[in-house]
Structure 1
């Protein structure tokens, strides 16, 4: 699926009551590549405050369109998906976000080619959701599975979950992780053996073996280290720690064995 299709998906918020939820919606859209927001009769529209909450979203806020009616907001759309948490008596085509996401993107790709209008994701007001009159405009109804004892989601949270599923279906699951700042080849046998030797010296320096068998302890340590599969840089780091333990204990021993000078003794 092409991410270009995301540009042909519009998020429609119907009678949103609080600009904080509009800000949360815009932030979620920006996170997951959606850029077209339509507001139908919002109770509170304050672009300045919204951008103060949803930082770095001025482009989405500037492009937001306001409508006086739901039919006007959906007029050019060829496919409408309504989000609801309530079960309805009327028989409707109900789906889950993850299973419907590929179809939404396929229809949005048709819009990219000019073969259809955009896809609309329709969300209701915070207190009552979408009424049946609004769902009558929808080709599909989506319900996000939640705890039945507390099923209702915050508006912006619902937008974020849908946007996430669309992003993943559009290729987000193939995003690679950022490479670590420092990359080193796997530790060699020689590097690990030097680590184990210095680790044993460090353990001797702190009397760790006084009540334990050296061979058993070192075998366990070897297994622990090998299980983590350290690279050469990590093995060197662990070895440096062991060396410093030996140096520290040596300095402490030498200090304890050095007699105080005459001035110190007289003082």
Structure 2
């Protein structure tokens, strides 16, 4: 009853050619949290520019299973060294600048990053926890990325900001799979008939049989009168049709109705078509 799992590792370009660069991170736990955010989304290329403390126990504890990302992290002494062989650099920025710079939102940044990986490595640069990137560092970037957070509380934790960008990179990668291979990684599964649903949609004849059975049971228990129907069955029909029943759900509902009739001492309606409670439970066990 579940959709196929999404690809676990992502593309090689996503994993290796997009590097996450953290500048002078002061809290080693944030480095571990960033590693976790990266691995969640299939990235592994982490660069650290002059971290205050790394590696240490705190960073590994906060990584929650992403120790391999930390093990492979490159520690360098300058931003120049981290960016030297990159073909594109993007830096996160929450502040306006005196000299306007190209600013893009996270989804566009992900698209541009993926396109640029065809020519080499792309760096996404994140600044210090308390002050971000300096003007000089931001001027090293081809684009500034702005995360449109709540203006009344716009400060994001470092790992949160990395997670937002890594998520957009992951989504852009999955969309490329949809276009290239027609695989339903991003499609929803909300109703019978969607790929991954375990039981076929109920055909109209069976749903109509259920409505007839339902009406008879409501009459049997003195809840409904056919000579004064009001809009009861109309509204119940709308309710169940809005739900979009599958075949198993119709069988279960008819089994319940049969049990209600039995408890009320009434003969089962449409006995040849309805499903007994025992049969419904047996069918349910096969699918739930």
Class of the TM-score when normalised by the shorter of the 2 chains = 0.7 to 0.9
**Cross-structure match for 1:73:** 82
Secondary structure (helix, strand or coil) at the match of 1:213 reads: coil
**Cross-structure match for 1:246:** 261
Q: CA deviation at 1:56?
A: 2.8
- Equivalents in 2 of 1:131, 1:215: separation in Å? 71
User: Cα deviation per residue 1:52-101 (whole Å; 9 max; x = unaligned)?
Assistant: 33333122121111122222222222221111101122332222222232
- Equivalents in 2 of 1:133, 1:218: separation in Å? 71
TM-score (norm: length of structure 2): 0.74
Gaps spanning 5+ residues in structure 2: where? Answer: 1-9, 179-184, 267-288
Aligned counterpart for 1:120 among listed residues 99, 111, 123: 123
Q: Which has the larger radius of gyration?
A: 1
Aligned residues of 1:201 and 1:246 also touching (Cα < 8 A): no
**Cross-structure match for 1:30:** 39
Residue correspondences, number: 244
Aligned residues of 1:108 and 1:119 also touching (Cα < 8 A): yes
Q: CA deviation at 1:182?
A: 5.5
Q: CA deviation at 1:203?
A: 2.4
**Cross-structure match for 1:221:** 236
- Equivalents in 1 of 2:28, 2:172: separation in Å? 29
**Cross-structure match for 2:173:** 170
Which of 1 and 2 has higher RCO (CA within 8 Å, sep 6+)? 1
Distance change in 2, residues 1:205/1:126 (3 Å): farther
Aligned residues of 1:47 and 1:61 also touching (Cα < 8 A): no
- Equivalents in 2 of 1:248, 1:172: separation in Å? 54
Aligned counterpart for 1:131 among listed residues 127, 131, 134: 134
Gaps spanning 5+ residues in structure 1: where? Answer: 112-117, 252-267
